[in-house]
Amino acid sequence: MALTHVDDEGRARMVDVGDKPDTRRVAVARGEVHMRPETLALIEANRIAKGDVLTVAQVAGVMAAKETGRLIPLCHPLSLTSVDVRLTTRPEASRVDIEATAATTGKTGVEMEALVAVSVAALTVYDMCKAVDRGMRIENVRLAFKTGGRSGEIVLEEDAAAAVRGEEGEP
């Protein structure tokens, strides 16, 4: 399989998507921030000195998704139709789970937007809590599901696909 972002001489290039049809595109990405139980308890009690960690990280993730084309050199700037970032505390695992769903109708996918949203939300959790827990770990940032375009549906985590199908109808 040939790399699409490399020309015949091996130089990086932005792919020309001008002739591709517009289709509905949705991507779900996920990640985790692992921490000490005491840190998670402070987040849940909204007792972190910098403020409401979960809300600030959610907003940061949405803002980051909208800036993906400026952050990742060969990504096309997209007109997103929606971005949803959810942070869920998991006391039994001493972590915060992050899930981002990005959607658009266009010529190229939104996988990078979803992944950037998760990554920046996770970095925001770390930044806001590092004064009390420098041992936090950002882990398992990954694409869980995507649909739309020529490659169609890619299901890496069935529950993510089911959630999108429930919200969007059959893609």
Report DSSP letters for 156-170, one per residue.
SSHHHHHHHHHHH--
Helices (H) and strands (E) in the chain, counts: 5, 5
Distance CA 144, CA 31 (A): 10
Distance CA 100, CA 149 (A): 19
Annotation says 7 is catalytic: no
Contact 32, 98 (CB under 8 A): yes
Contact 70, 15 (CB under 8 A): no
Catalytic option among 22, 97, 127, 133: 127
What are the structure tokens assigned to 10, written together? 């091996």
Task: Please state, in angstroms and as integers, the Cα–Cα distance from residue 117 to each residue in 11, 55, 142, 152, 171, following that order.
Answer: 28, 13, 11, 22, 22
Residues identified as active-site: 127
